[in-house]
Chain A
């Protein structure tokens, strides 16, 4: 029997009011796999990541992460919706980087990097600081350790945000269009960093991006989302070059047009 996938969605439904965003969604991501989600705006890509972050709740179906239920928990032999404590516990294995960086502006770069490791993982301040320095070195911002986020460029902020997520030693990293808010000349640096993280760690990465070139050489697999479902699932070379579904073809043409 193959190992349990790192992320599993089974029959997940998600509605906002009357609009169905995800319907009967199945999805599995293996440990260490790099999976890219593509699809038109509003197709539910962000919602998938937000469900994993427990920022939204499923209306039906289940989500498992690392073999444990995230959306649900066992109570007296029954599967019931997870409470906050349970979700937080499972979610601890997941890190997320946002389109808008969302660094804490009231803290220095160092403060951003050590807050969660000291408060959540229980590292000492010295341990957390050492780790923060290593990570900043890796993202090429060692000299900005005492700077405030507002004084950094968008690209630098995003690299700090990546370091902040990595500081929690996640098994899973979620990336939501993390280069979309950047000036074009800053995109390459962030993508280069992601490639390096992909090459040097065994973190499972689920990534939403419109950077088709990046998706092609970074991903092991690409999922095309449309109408709340995965309509095509394949290796990047096939799916991005010779899509089978007309919707995928249209979508890719539109994205490339937009360049």
Chain B
């Protein structure tokens, strides 16, 4: 292995790494959307009066939170086909990320919902608003903005965990970097660049989240 940083090689592999990064970003985006949606459903169900549903969701969230993402990804990718559900790497990865993070976002939403004063529920009830409007027009518009920074932090953590999905064959940026280093026997450039790409995205993202935190905190 030759020492030193090879600029020419670095430039040459950049397009391949960029394509890998796009997959990483896509998985993060879809995983976040799933986690946001599902987490919200979990949180709302847990406020519901249907006790059975409430307990089922609670138990699932507790169980799923205490097992590693990697195991969950394996189960979704390799065990689900046995029951007739075969998913590609990306779909399985997104599902794994979404389910895993939904268990965290549901707690975030729950805290946000609990922070809405009881008087708001009572005013909505006094106006006989239907339950759907109580949630959509009164409670969630007050609860969600307050928890956006916390949700944003989970998006950033998710982004950094996408490389785990190489275990189920998702060709994202770190996988690309590993393949490149295996082909060229030069691990320094691909892995360094992959790391830098992560930094270039997650650092500005965390600045945005911190700014959001200050704004919602100031309200």
Chain A residues near B (Cβ < 8 Å): 53-55, 88, 91-92, 94-96, 98, 100, 102-107, 115-116, 119-120, 164-165, 168
Is B128's CB under 8 angstroms from A92's CB?
yes
Do A120 and B129 touch across chains, with their CB atoms under 8 A apart?
Answer: yes
The 6 A-B pairs at the shortest CB distance, nearest first, are namely A102-B123, A116-B127, A102-B119, A106-B141, A96-B126, A92-B128
CB pair A106–B129 under 8 Å, yes or no, is no
B218 to chain A, nearest CB (A): 13
Listed residue (A53, A91, A106, A107) with the most chain B CB atoms within 10 angstroms of its CB: A106
Are A120 and B119 in contact (CB-based, < 8 A)?
no
Within B116-138, which residues are at the interface with A (CB < 8 Å)? 117, 119-120, 122-130, 133, 137-138
B125 & A116 in contact (Cβ 8 Å cutoff): no
In the docked arrangement, what's the CA distance between A107 and B138, Å? Answer: 9
Indicate the size class of the contact surface on chain B: 10 to 19
Shortest distance from the beta carbon of B64 to any chain A beta carbon, whole Å: 31
Q: Contact at B133–A119, with CB atoms within 8 Å?
A: yes
Q: Which residues of A contact B124 (CB under 8 A)?
A: 104
Chain B residues closer than 8 Å to A165, beta-carbon distance: 126-127
- Which B residues are CB-close (under 8 A) to A102? 117, 119-120, 122-123
A-B contact pairs, 18 of them (CB 8 A): A92-B128, A95-B126, A96-B126, A98-B123, A98-B126, A102-B117, A102-B122, A102-B123, A103-B123, A104-B120, A106-B141, A107-B137, A115-B137, A119-B130, A119-B137, A120-B127, A165-B126, A168-B128
Residue among B126, B141, B142 with the most chain A CB within 10 A? B126
A54-B120 contact in complex given A104-B138, A119-B130, A120-B130, C-beta closer than 8 Å: no
